[in-house]
């Protein structure tokens, strides 16, 4: 199974649903549709209406983040996994570099994953090194640490997907070389096997400047189980092109 996840970040109003309707109509007719899942994470404000609309359709709706508490509490502007689940989200991202940069710590991320799973949300856990860490050849150590500090053997690994997003690649048009990326994905899968002490590994996605052209290079790396797509997910044509070119 492959995953094409579109992360809208701070984008979208109710009528932006038209973008998703086009993606959905492509996916319902696509001959390869059984081979992949499409998930879109709009902002909190759109989760409920979009989830209702796409119930029993080809697009699943997720959240971009969640607060590190279970149900209700006195944290102004916070939205819990329980609340997200109750308006129809099936997934949540946790640990996106945007949110790490704004103060999400490993301890907070661990609580987020734990409460999200408790509320039956599937978690897309994001990791990735920055430019300086890459330059200093610290990538493998950074990724290992990010995984180890948050993921726990007690978590149900069937409900977790890992997304590798090198920070220097997000929104820049820069992507890792295919040799480098293959090694990194294999490294991540090895770490996941160690953490969960299971033979079967979790799906590992790549994210960072994915588009309809470079996806042809990524598809050669069989270890990549799908993509987390930012910019290109805000256009139905660009998003559909990624899927089309992946299976071409
Ligand atoms: P871009 O695809 O715009 O580089 O964004 C990647 C990302 O951060 C998705 O979460």
The per-residue DSSP string of 52-63 comes to HHTTTSSEEEEE
Residues in the chain: 248
Report d(CA 175, CA 178) in Å as an integer.
9
Tens digit of pLDDT for each residue in 171-205? 999 999 999 999 999 999 999 999 999 888 899 99
- So what's the pLDDT on residue 208? 98
- What is the CA(185)–ligand 1 centre distance, in A? 17
Average pLDDT over every residue of 110-114? 98
For residue 198, the tally of other CB atoms under 10 A from its CB is: 12
Distance CA 13, CA 144 (A): 37
**Ligand 1 atom 7, closest CA:** 230
Q: What is the pLDDT of residue 200?
A: 87
CA dist., res. 84 & res. 79, Å (int): 7
Separation of alpha carbons 234 and 150, rounded Å: 30
Domains and CATH numbers, the chain: 2-246 (3.20.20.70)
Which residue's CA is the nearest one to ligand 1's atom 5?
Answer: 230
What pLDDT, on a 0 to 100 scale, did the predictor assign at position 70?
A: 96
Pocket of ligand 1 (CB under 6 A): 7, 96, 165, 170-171, 207-210, 228-232
Per-residue pLDDT for 16 more than 90?
yes
What 3-state class would DSSP assign to 173?
coil
Condensed to tens digits (0 to 9), the pLDDT of residues 62-111 reads 999 999 999 999 999 999 999 999 999 999 999 999 999 999 999 999 99
Average pLDDT score, the chain: 98
List residues with catalytic annotation.
Answer: 96, 165
């Amino acid at each position: 199974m492959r995953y094409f996840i579109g992360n809208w970040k701070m984008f979208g109003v109710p009528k932006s649903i038209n973008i998703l309707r086009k993606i959905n109509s492509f996916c319902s007719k696509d001959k390869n549709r059984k081979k992949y899942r499409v998930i879109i994470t709009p902002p909190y404000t759109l989760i409920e209406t979009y989830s209702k609309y796409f119930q029993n359709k080809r697009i699943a709706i997720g959240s971009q983040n969640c607060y590190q508490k279970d149900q209700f509490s006195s944290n102004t502007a916070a939205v819990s996994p329980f609340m997200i689940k109750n308006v129809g989200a099936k997934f949540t991202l946790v640990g996106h570099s945007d949110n790490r940069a704004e103060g999400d710590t490993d301890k907070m991320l661990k609580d987020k994953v734990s409460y999200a799973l408790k509320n039956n949300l599937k978690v897309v856990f994001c990791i990735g090194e920055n430019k300086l860490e890459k330059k200093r050849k610290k990538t493998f150590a950074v990724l290992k640490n990010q995984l180890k500090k948050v993921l726990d053997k007690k978590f149900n690994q069937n409900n977790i997907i890992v997304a590798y997003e090198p920070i220097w690649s997000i929104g820049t048009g820069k992507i890792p070389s295919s040799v480098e990326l293959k090694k990194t994905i294999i490294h991540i899968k090895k770490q996941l096997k160690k953490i969960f002490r299971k033979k079967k590994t979790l799906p590992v996605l790549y994210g960072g400047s994915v588009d309809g052209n470079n996806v042809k290079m990524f598809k050669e790396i069989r270890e990549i189980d799908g993509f987390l797509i930012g910019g290109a997910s805000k256009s139905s044509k660009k998003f559909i092109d990624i899927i089309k070119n992946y299976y071409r």
